[in-house]
């Protein structure tokens, strides 16, 4: 893993080395820049590859505020779609959860993760901040000391970055978490027995807000990217392949899982992108190892049902930026020392909601007909109970960063 290169080493120095140029790494870099903290970002993929990842885009208020704080919220506010509620569909009927009234005026915004990443990339490029793309052989060293290093190869030349801290924002399959000794880390995981078949199309959304559908045929989600671009999902067995699903077959199955009105008004069209994503709940403890700090997908994965993935990454970044800023500006280690504990409280709460919402809305093969009936009974309770609806709404819009502290 940490094999030494025989090529001459080009030496670099920074305060924070961020591994990974996805939205969490780029957001951290931008916030640190605003706070006067130096950072270099190292990414193994190309910018085009990073932007090519199709991801969800339901932003909580905490995330919107952070993007504004980072100075990249202008296009989000101009093009994003503000949602004050969403529909839950079961037994062929839709019921609206009013986020605005149930949470004291809070809301969410639909703005694609790709667009968030693009805005952050553009901002970093505009300020000339150092970002290394297409870095190969990325490795982290000595993170159990006060003098950690990151090494990589670029265009055949070996590079070493000396720093005070390493921020591991390199995703579930990245090098940072994988470099931690097994005895120092505990991983919790649940793999769900189905996946999401997603289709992106340049068609108007079937509804102006999201529809989460519980159906005897399986879960469905009607989402959107804009007034003219839609994103739809179907629960499918893990054994299914994208090639098995023609566009026509997708649309036909989606109609069968929707209420009559939505099925009738659904506008279909050719897919721009189609893929199957497995679902898992995954949490790593702790999230700090000496001078190494994990953030975002490097530390936790949630099923997309509750729209928490990007938002959890953003809250990690907020805690981490505050910790580093306190360290350099106030000469305090409080934020650094409590980073993992603060993050994990929020991570587990969001993981619980995502697991619960996934369990409520999907058809589980082993649960049989009684499982469907029990789900429908719980959904009936939730939409007719103010306390139940409020709990759903409160979790969906996102708990405050200081919730329970």
Sequence-distant (6+) residues with CB within 8 A of 101 are none
Question: What is the C-alpha separation between 113 and 55, in angstroms, rounded?
Answer: 6
288-289 β-sheet, strand order? 131-132, 39-42, 16-19, 165-168, 292-294, 288-289
- CA proximity to 290, closest of 177, 140, 143, 178: 143
Is 139:175 a contact under the CB 8 Å cutoff?
A: yes
Q: Which residues are catalytic?
A: 83, 212, 304, 308, 396
End-to-end CA distance of the chain: 39
Count of residues in the chain = 405
Specify the long-range contacts of residues 335-344, CB closer than 8 Å, at least 24 apart: 336/165, 336/288, 339/287, 339/288, 339/293, 340/285, 340/286, 340/287, 340/288, 341/286, 342/405, 343/287, 343/295, 343/299, 343/315, 343/316, 343/319, 344/283, 344/285, 344/286, 344/287
Please identify which residue in the block is written with the tokens 């839950």. 88
Question: What is the C-alpha separation between 222 and 210, in angstroms, rounded?
Answer: 6
């Amino acid at each position: 893993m940490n094999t030494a290169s025989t090529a001459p080493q080009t030496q670099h120095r920074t305060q924070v080395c961020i591994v990974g140029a996805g939205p969490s790494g780029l957001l951290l870099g931008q916030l640190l820049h605003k706070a006067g903290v130096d950072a270099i970002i190292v990414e193994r993929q190309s910018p085009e590859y990073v932007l090519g990842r199709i991801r969800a885009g339901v932003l909580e208020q905490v995330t919107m505020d952070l993007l504004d704080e980072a100075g990249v919220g202008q296009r989000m506010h101009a093009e994003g779609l503000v949602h004050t509620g969403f529909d839950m569909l079961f037994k062929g009927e839709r019921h609206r959860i009013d986020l605005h009234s149930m949470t004291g005026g809070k809301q969410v915004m639909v703005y694609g993760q790709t667009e968030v990443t693009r805005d952050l990339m553009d901002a970093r490029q505009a300020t000339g901040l150092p970002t290394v793309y297409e870095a190969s052989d990325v490795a982290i060293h000595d993170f159990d000391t006060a003098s950690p290093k990151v090494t990589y190869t670029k265009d055949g030349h070996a590079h070493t970055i000396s720093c005070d801290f390493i921020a591991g924002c390199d995703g579930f399959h990245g090098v940072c978490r994988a470099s931690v000794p097994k005895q120092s880390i505990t991983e919790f995981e649940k793999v769900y027995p189905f996946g999401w078949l997603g289709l992106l199309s340049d068609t108007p959304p079937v509804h102006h807000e999201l529809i989460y559908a519980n159906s005897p045929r399986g879960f469905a989600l009607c989402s959107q990217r804009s007034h003219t671009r839609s994103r739809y999902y179907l629960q499918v067995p893990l054994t299914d392949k994208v090639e098995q699903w023609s566009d026509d077959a997708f649309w036909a199955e989606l109609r069968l899982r929707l209420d009559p009105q939505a099925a009738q008004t659904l506008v279909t069209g050719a897919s721009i992108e189609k893929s199957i994503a497995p679902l898992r709940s995954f949490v790593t403890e702790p999230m700090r190892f000496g001078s190494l700090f994990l953030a975002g997908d490097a530390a936790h994965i949630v099923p997309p049902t509750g729209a928490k993935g990007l938002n959890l990454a953003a809250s990690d970044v907020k805690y981490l930026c505050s910790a580093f800023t306190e360290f350099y500006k106030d000469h305090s280690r409080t934020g650094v020392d409590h980073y993992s504990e603060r993050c994990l409280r929020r991570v587990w709460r969001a993981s619980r909601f995502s697991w619960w919402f996934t369990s409520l809305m999907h058809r589980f093969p082993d649960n049989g007909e009684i499982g469907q009936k029990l789900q429908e009974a719980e959904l009936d309770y939730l939409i007719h109970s103010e306390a139940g609806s409020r709990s759903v709404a409160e979790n969906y819009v996102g708990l405050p960063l200081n919730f329970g502290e």
